[in-house]
Amino acid sequence: MSLTIELLPAQEQQIQQEAERAGVSVSEIVRRALDARFPVTGGASNGKAREDAPLNEEERAEEERIFAQLHANINETRRSLEMRTL
């Protein structure tokens, strides 16, 4: 499934910086964050083999750290704009 979402410029910048730090694409960093938050059991649901599935304990911890940082960064931006946090 493809999904298009509107991000605040600061959120986009934070995601791009995290992707650069990890040496992966923006799409990959967002997919990893979503995988950490919404894990799929029993392999890939779209019938395609994933290079990084299944994650080991260390990889899972890193993915959860990335998602937590992404979530914190989004909320920081939202607070600075006086928006409700997620």
* Sequence spans of domains, the chain: 9-80
Please, what's the b/e burial string for 16-49 (b: 16 or more CB within 10 A of its CB; e: otherwise)? eebbeeeeeeeeebbebbebbeeeeeeeeeeeee
8 Å CB contact between 85 and 78: yes
Mean pLDDT of 2-12: 89
CA dist., res. 38 & res. 50, Å (int): 15
CA dist., res. 10 & res. 71, Å (int): 13
Averaged pLDDT score across all residues of the chain: 83
In sequence order, the 6+-apart residues with CB closer than 8 A to the CB of 59 are: 52
Amino acid 8: pLDDT: 92
Amino acid 47: pLDDT: 44
